[in-house]
Structure 1
């Protein structure tokens, strides 16, 4: 892995004084798991480039760390990306190779420490499995860097495998060298989910020291703290409290696997509210919830007196039992109970019970169907049941890269058979509408990102004869 710093400050060789490294010498720093080589590919008054090349011994990594760990029974502890990416090892190498510059010291030319210089920095190769390019930009751009990234394919010979989690990152900014080094020193481990060192209170002290002057005002400070401290809640909270002693501090949520579920649950609430609003606005009196799950939308529908007949359908008998418990059907007053029915059924087989409803809600359902069953689903809903209004939602695949806990190329749920981008969804929905004599409009659900759109996409179908 390679880290280069280039400046065109005049004279550019002032960089050599700041780094305390002679441009004519090849130097090396011994690390516990390898060697860091420091050299100058170019050095004159117009341009100076210093390179830090990290050479990690993969076998040494295993021998010095012992045989424990989740991959100890496989080749995973021997065959991995650690020797080839700019990870926590690079951060340690920067601290050792450029310690005087990072601490703001320069004995021969002390006046250089506080001079702002133009810098061009390249990191090859940086892993960003959870967050990708957006996370890289979110970390560096608020600090004044111009960010350019090159993302690599998993295998250029097999483009269908998609992109990898690896990036070459180029950063440009005008700032002091000591600030540049502390930024990179802190933010590389933030992007590294598999730090090689033990994270303890000592890391809190290092973070607060190296983050002094910039971390407190960074818009992603809580995310930086959590990820730097490996999502250890006690350490993260301690660091945040100390960093913001003059500000009120709320709880720091751990960034674990279930964080994605928590985010999805909040989005789910928004989604159901938007769907409910569309159903109410349609003027419908009878409504069927196709794929009703545990009955959260059904409960919301019951609160609206507008709906006199409500049917909840799901393929799982056990899920319907949970829905009955959530709705407290056994305790429901008779008049209320007359309005709602739960029924088991599949959405790929014609069902006479679905016919005659004013409206149908299909919330996050179609992505659970095999693609070759979508035509059957279409006929069941739009040709045979034919409600006057259909409100349908599905995930927007483009938005997935914003979920930090979602690995690149994976879907939001293990049971999803597919996830569509906005163009794919709108093409499918428009064709369904034409074939079945519906009109369709589209709306985003959730916070809209200017590049990737909203997390959920919604289609509202209106039968042509319905005004």
Structure 2
């Protein structure tokens, strides 16, 4: 397998910065042994104006067999021969993807210690793979790479035999991608989509492959129109793992969705002269109401479920009465932003021990969430499809069972007061529903009854006498310590 990455530059921003990004010097040939062969990295051209890095992977089928020696033989006399005739050596795209992640590991993560500003730069890129298996042909290549920001996606079918055109085309294409992207984003796309195009993996799929998929797809996969197909093929059509991936990607849309629309409404302030007092943004009022409710409940150990970029976690951390704070979100990118917001890497050991950031999904029970004083779901439930709410309900109220649970959500009745919000529209494009006060209280009352809680309601923002407050909050307080019936088995979706 052969792949080239080309970029252009100027004297001020030389193309040879590609060497820093890939952590491979343009003047040297790098040879790295892989478990399935040998990877060579070299630069056919390296000038300030144009630089090309090439990755050549030599696959060794015998190395693949030796790697698995002693596994799964079961005493069968023909087992040794079976090792040499299985299809693993031919899953070349999967092998190339693994080599890509190993040889360009730091570039894939978007890290560059010597030039830390480089990974965030968008640069002109041209990626070429002369021969690439594509089960689905050029049409599938365009469906997969087209929505990802490339200016040019070219997939030229490779004929079975040029001397016999009547034989038709093979399942291979010559791939060319051109566009302006961050190098890390381009590499992560290749890591996921190369084996997806081939629809084959050279290794057994384990549950941790879902985590790998979500990490590599962070920032682009959740919004991809073909994320179902991508998940299925990447996970070797494993139904349970594919379902897990799709459900988690659905939740990622909450954290990955553009928040500009909701921020404009949450923080809407009429233009005023400097002499006029500006109202407190709704997002700030919401955090203050949550903090007051937590203090009133005497909570010290708090969960922020669906913590996003860590605004509430940061507010909790500033109050020393909260001794342990856990923020959980399905989005790795949001958690990374939260860590930067909190400056975790600069904290002392004693301070950092108060804060933990976890990646996880509220669609599943999680033992890490048990035993806390309080849990907060701030502007979370409206981003889930209604049929997924029972899963969240059991994960929080049935399994984790904190003594206090706070749930905030928009009051749809108040939407008529937003002059910038068209009639009939929800406050954010990702909201699956927005409830009236009666609907919210009906849901909250049923949840409390099912799981042994009592519930009270707190308005957040100006409580309009006709349409109520812009945000409604339910405060659940545990009254029973017994569990609920008809609970899912451990590890299953609620």
> TM-score when scaled to structure 2?
0.47
More relative contact order, 1 or 2 (CA 8 Å, 6+ apart)? 1
TM-score, with length taken from structure 1: 0.49
